[in-house]
Amino acid sequence: MKTAIRGARPRSAAGLPALSPDQVVDAAIRLTEEHGLDGWTIRQLAAAIRAWPAVVYHHVGDREAVVDAVLQSVVAGMPVPADDLPWRDWWHRFLVDGRATLRRYRGVARRLATRGPTVPAMLAIADHGIRVLRRAGFGAESSDVYQVLVSSSFLMVALEDEWAADPSLRSRTAAVLAAHRDREDMPGLAALASLWHRTCNDQETLRARDEWFFGYAVDRALDAVQVRLDILTAK
């Protein structure tokens, strides 16, 4: 016997207007913002829109179809810089601003890293990004550079999502490293342990560190890509 969902009585019986697919997806986006992409079920989505699960299937499809729609909406909301910016400015702005969008929806970055090209809105971003790289002189390597920058950045956001979902991951790492802060025989490890000790004391410090480190990592990746561009254009 199926258990009824509280608040999920037929909308017509409750005097509520009919739903549209966009309303179903909007509710899924709100649930994703609150609980993460993997933190809600179709039944919870149905309860959020005060409808039966069958309504979700009718308007959008199964859970994967809803997830696809959420990915499309989130990516469509990512700021895309103007094409006439210098290539490095374009990519720095896109990746840093994109992180701010993706961090609102835990789990989306991981999905995009593994299946980004299947999301329609990512196709337009790929076109913009690769055209910017081609104009800069990357030539036949433009698509490879695009994949390096996007995949590495999205995976970094996915790592932040994992840490946000389970803060104990970092606290356990900090606890293990704490024993090595004064290791004179392993100064490199001691430096790493000291860094973790300084940055893992409170959530506010961690958030600031994450934001700074993402920008730092993007800049170092762009430095490396610039070196490659110098080689390509010197040929």
pLDDT in tens, 176-223: 999 999 999 999 999 999 998 888 878 888 889 999 999 999 999 999
pLDDT in tens, 20-79: 999 999 999 999 999 999 999 999 999 999 999 999 999 999 999 999 999 999 999 999
CB 74 within 8 A of CB 52: no
Q: What is the largest CA-CA distance in the chain?
A: 74
State the DSSP code for 82.
Answer: -
Whole-model pTM: value is 0.86
**81-95 in b/e burial notation, b at 16+ Cβ within 10 A?**
beeeeebbebbbbbb
Q: What is the mean pLDDT of residues 154-166?
A: 95
What per-residue confidence (pLDDT) applies to 1? 35
Domain spans, the chain: 1-76, 77-165+202-234
pLDDT in tens, 90-140: 999 999 999 999 999 999 999 999 987 889 999 999 999 999 999 999 999
Give the whole-angstrom CA distance, residue 189 versus residue 36.
34
Radius of gyration of the chain (CA): 22
Question: How is domain 1-76 classified at the architecture level of CATH?
Answer: Orthogonal Bundle (1.10)
Q: What is the mean pLDDT of residues 153-169?
A: 94
Taking 80 as the threshold, does the pLDDT of residue 12 lie above it? no
What per-residue confidence (pLDDT) applies to 181? 92
CB neighbour list of residue 126: distance below 8 Å, 6 or more residues apart: 117, 146, 150
pLDDT in tens, 43-58: 999 999 999 999 999 9
Q: What is the mean pLDDT of residues 159-184?
A: 92
CB 68 within 8 A of CB 119: yes
Taking 80 as the threshold, does the pLDDT of residue 9 lie above it? no
